[in-house]
Amino acid sequence: MWKHVRHTLGVSQRRLMLGGGRRQPTAVDVDRRRPVSTGPPLPAVLVDQLRGTWYTSPWNCQSGGTLAMYDIRSLKIQWASLREQLGARGADVPWDEIDTLLQDHRTQLAHTETLRHRRKQGSDNVARLQRASQPADAAIADMRALGDTIGRHEEQLREIETQLEAHALRIPNVPHDTVPPGPDASRNEEVRRWGDPPSFAFTPQPHWALGESLGILDFKRAGKIAGARFAMAVGAGAQLERALASLMLDIHTRTHGYTEVLPPCLVNQDAMTGTGQLPKFERDLFHLRDDPYLLIPTAEVPVTNLYRDEILPDHVLPIRHVASTPCFRREAGSYGQETRGLMRLHQFQKVELVAFTTPDESYAELERLTRAAESILQALELPYRVVTLCRGDLGFAAAKTYDLEVWIPSQSAYREISSCSNCESFQARRARIRFRAGSGKPDYLHTLNGSGLAVGRTVIAILEHYQHEDGSVAIPKVLQPYMNGIERLTASPRHG
């Protein structure tokens, strides 16, 4: 369904978040008193091009649709500056087509307004003729014909708006001023390090070799059951994954004040659109064939959408949630990369942190969330570093991201184990999550998320960091109570 929305969206200028500097929040006035009418479906060619044939436009969904980060009013005002701000980050956005559509919209709207003015004048003339008891049939016929013409122009306007809204959902978030420039991960900037990489008197084995020799990882049977890029943990391996998730949840809830939730692992299309997975990343998602549900790629999706379509009082903020869920990703386009082991799977376990806060506090919250994720690595005594992602490596919905990279001995390299992001109001606008300060007008809050941590990748780090020359693996001290006192993993009998 269409909702008629008024926006007063000015050109926001980002300022450095240093010395308490804050970017002023944007004011958006949503008028829910206007009538609701049914909009046209997306043209088939646009559906095929932008969303995939199975995906239906969120602007026609029963729950009221999704408000794009960039509405038509803001695109008209900010089109050129937005294109410049995004630069290469917006390389796949059809800017020229958007510009053409905006021009068409201006022309069509001006013409429609002229016709509406003529209709008002004609209606006044009909009323005058009727009051004077003069023939008005011809004037009434003219007004009916004019009404039909206006209706056709309004239909064309709706079609243009539908296409603009579809394009708007594919425009990424604008990076914060403190995000470093750069085209790819090679330009990410290191912020800090913790711990020293271990040195071995032997050549360290990769985690998959250790896991198979210990009898705690079975990739062959997982492949038989499901196919490539699946793994099965067995015995102490399964216990290790469960122990890690429990440790992470306990630290985040008891030490950092997060409230645990256990959300659905199947979500609807509105939820995926709200957090930014749809429509742009449809190829990376698993969806059901006969039902409009998708498997979550991260708990960020259901947890962020807990407050979709709500206005929260400011006194409940910040809200901090943590969830441990399985995650499902097709990893489309990544085949041939890291096909061995646990690094890149279709299904994996992850503990996710999600926070909701006011615009004034969101960058302080980003630092807090990142430190919470770091505390897990410190508790496990795993060396890591924190890097700020450059513009070219930044995720679609993020305004700023810190990656935590843990040291992997077999690769002699730091590898990502968590991404902690401030999405500012990007997701809140798409999911219509607002807050109200006192009796003031509602405004969009800021959402943040980060892995706290990816459980499988933590298993990788533990197996490789704590390995011994005989192939056994020590259990970190903080984890031993969760492992029923087991201090070392040794080879166990294989089941066939």
Domain boundaries of the chain, sorted by first residue: 44-168, 185-489
pLDDT score, position 48: 32
Question: Is pLDDT of 196 > 80?
Answer: yes
pLDDT band (50, 70, 90) for residue 493: low
Q: Is 15 a catalytic residue?
A: no
Are 275 and 300 in contact, with CB atoms under 8 Å apart?
A: yes
Share of the chain above pLDDT 90, in %: 71
CA–CA dist 426, 299 (Å, integer): 18
Q: Tell me the per-residue pLDDT of 210-230, one tens digit each, with 9 for 90 and over.
A: 999 999 999 999 999 999 999
pLDDT at site 66: 47
Name the active-site residue from 57, 419, 421, 425: 419
Flag whether pLDDT at 11 surpasses 50. Answer: no
**Sign of the CA dihedral running 112, 113, 118, 123:** positive
DSSP helix/strand/coil, 103: helix
pLDDT computed for residue 314 by the predictor: 96
Q: Strand, helix or coil at 129? A: helix
pLDDT of 235 over the 90 cut: yes
| H-state helical runs in 288-392 | 300-304, 362-379
- List the one residue out of 445, 424, 432 whose CA is nearest residue 313: 445
Question: What does the DSSP 8-state code read for residue 337?
Answer: S
Mean pLDDT of 68-85: 83
260-295: pLDDT as tens digits: 999 999 999 999 999 999 999 999 999 999 999 999
pLDDT of residue 305: 98
Residue 52: the pLDDT is: 29
Distances (CA, A) of 69 to 95, 280, 284, 296, 363: 16, 14, 21, 22, 19
pLDDT score of 132 = 87
Mean pLDDT of all residues in 136-159: 89
pLDDT at 68: 59
From 344, 371, 385, 415, the catalytic residue: 344
The C-alpha atoms of residue 274 and residue 281 are separated, in whole angstroms, by: 13
Apex 15 CA angle, 14 and 19, nearest 5 = 155
Q: Is the pLDDT of residue 41 over 60?
A: no
Given 57, 368, 457, 464, the catalytic residue: 457
Known catalytic residue: 97?
A: no
Of residues 258, 242, 240, 243, the one with CA closest to residue 373: 258
- Per the CB < 8 A criterion, the answer to whether 326 and 299 are in contact is no
Say yes or no to pLDDT of 318 above 60: yes
User: Catalytic residue at 457?
Assistant: yes
- The residue annotated as part of the active site, out of 329, 330, 430, 434, is 329
Of 12, 416, 436, 472, the active-site residue reads: 416
pLDDT of residue 2: 30
Q: What is the mean pLDDT of residues 468-484?
A: 97
Helix, strand, coil content of the chain in percent (nearest 5):
40, 15, 40
416 is catalytic: yes
Above 70 in pLDDT, residue 191?
yes
Mean pLDDT computed over every residue of the chain: 85
CATH class given for the domain over 185-489: alpha beta
pLDDT at 423 over 80: yes
Using a 10 angstrom Cβ sphere, with 0-12 exposed, 13-18 middle and 19 or more buried, the burial of residue 289 is: exposed
CATH class of 44-168: mainly alpha
pLDDT in tens, 238-253: 999 999 999 999 999 9
Predicted pLDDT of residue 374 = 98
Residue 373, pLDDT score: 98
